[in-house]
Amino acid sequence: MKLTRRQFAASIGASAVAVAAPAIGQEKYPSKPIRVLVPYSPGGATDYAARLISDKARQTLGVNIIVDNKPGAQGRLSLEELNRAKPDGYTLMIGNVTTNCITPVLFGKQLTFNYDKDVAAVARLMITPNVLLVTHEGFAPRTFKDTIDYIKKNPGKIRYGSSGIASFPHYDTELLARRLGLDMIHVPYKGGAGEMVKGIVSGEIQLTLLSTPITLPQVQAGKVTVISNVLQRLPQFADVPTLAEQGVKDVGTDNWSGVFAPSGTPPEVISTLYKAYTDAANDKAVVDAAARTGSFIWTAKSVDETRNWLQSELKKWRGITDEVKVEMN
């Protein structure tokens, strides 16, 4: 059987530990700060989840957890950085459905490693729903119907934003456009939602899907209007219908976040991280903080369940990307 570079390194490392352990003992994990890669700029849903839950996990693990934002290339920069790291539990990644499902499916051949073999799912964290919103800057419509009518009367003039080419908001908005016969211009933001919110507030884009934590302050400031919930009515926008309720079925994605490590990370380290992050996510203070933004905790019962779930997500997105082609330029 041919081993990948990661698997070979892990087997050599395991052998070395086995030889050295009787002489020097095994260092307790963790004994130094942990670095968490986030594939987006500060301010978006994934960054929010990473900071909120890592701060609580830090208290359990007893070491600092440093969030390191590395946006760009649909998450490939962070994925490559994760792959270069030693599989010792001191470099992790908190990613989402785009960076850890869609990117490996669409851009796997552009990665320098085998995602399925070289990245290990550790823990599921939370879901941060998106809502569909419009800018107040130079754009009059304030309802879903008026917005759709306006776009149809102005084909090729309305710009919508996403967190990057082939991101899940890109797919969801393209599906929406195809179902309703809309012609819009796609504006991708490589830094993710933190940059998208600037675009929608300034009027650079007129329409976008954004996560609730960063949408709420802009709604309260009178800068944007939510014209549709996506998959469910959120308490913060309880009077706004979902897409399905407004006639658009089977459009929308659960924006989950999860913890990932390099394959070859010792099982006992993975177990420690799984427990720390799962317990942190389910802490009442974290649950309440998430709920205030419309987010909700969505953890798995075990590491095995986490890994099985990731495989099912990858399979689902292989089907979606085969069926729905988006412009990659």
Residue 54 sits in a domain whose CATH number is 3.40.190.150
Give the per-residue pLDDT at 328. 64
Q: Which two tokens stand for residue 296?
A: 């909700």
Spans of the chain below 70 pLDDT: 1-26, 327-329
**Which pLDDT value is given to residue 20?**
40
Q: Is the dihedral of CA 123, 301, 60, 287 positive or negative?
A: positive
Answer yes or no: do 238 and 146 share one domain.
Answer: yes
> Residues for the chain: how many in total?
329
Residues 284 and 140 in one domain: no
Please give the Cα distance from 306 to 122 (Å, whole number): 7
User: What's the pLDDT score for residue 275?
Assistant: 98
Q: Are residues 230 and 281 in the same domain?
A: no
- Name the residue among 88, 119, 91, 92 with its Cα closest to residue 26: 88
Does residue 8 lie in a domain region?
A: no
Q: How far apart are CA 213 and CA 242, in angstroms?
A: 18
Tell me whether residue 296 is in a domain: yes
Instruction: Kindly state whether residue 124 falls inside one of the protein's structural domains.
Output: yes
Give residue 16's pLDDT: 44
| Assigned domain for 4 exists | no
Q: Is residue 27, in this structure, part of any structural domain at all? A: no
Identify whether residues 122 and 135 lie together within a single domain: no
CATH code, 226: 3.40.190.10
pLDDT value at position 22?
39
Strand partners, 69: 38
**Is there a single domain that holds both residue 137 and residue 103?**
no
Residue 93 corresponds to which tokens in the numbers above?
């990644």
- Would residue 12 count as lying in a domain? no
Say whether both 296 and 152 belong to one domain: no
Q: What pLDDT, on the 0 to 100 scale, is given for residue 44? A: 83
Q: Which of 204, 220, 246 is the last residue of a domain?
A: 246
Q: Is 242 helix (H, G, I), strand (E, B) or coil?
A: strand
> How far is residue 165 from each of residues 44, 70, 173, 319, measured CA to CA in Å?
17, 17, 12, 18
Where among 246, 266, 297 does a domain terminate?
A: 246
Can you tell me the distance from the alpha carbon of 142 to that of 29, in angstroms, rounded to the nearest whole number? 53
- Residue 1 falls within a domain, yes or no? no
Do 181 and 269 belong to one domain?
A: no
Say what the pLDDT of residue 72 is: 85
> Where do the DSSP E strands lie in the chain?
34-38, 65-69, 91-96, 119-127, 130-135, 159-162, 185-188, 207-211, 224-229, 256-262, 296-297
DSSP annotation of 99: I
State residue 91's pLDDT score. Answer: 98
Would residue 26 count as lying in a domain? no
> Are residues 284 and 307 located together in one domain of the fold?
yes
CA dist 226 and 132 (Å) reads 6
Predicted TM-score of the model (pTM): 0.83
pLDDT at 203: 97
Q: How many domains does the chain have?
A: 2
- Using CA atoms, how far residue 9 sits from 3, 77, 79, 87, 118, in Å, is 9, 22, 18, 9, 11
Pick from 14, 24, 145, 35: which is nearest to 93 by CA?
35
Domain span at residue 281 reads: 32-128+255-323
User: 275 and 221 in one domain?
Assistant: no
> What pLDDT shows up at residue 18?
43
Q: What is the DSSP letter of 102?
A: I
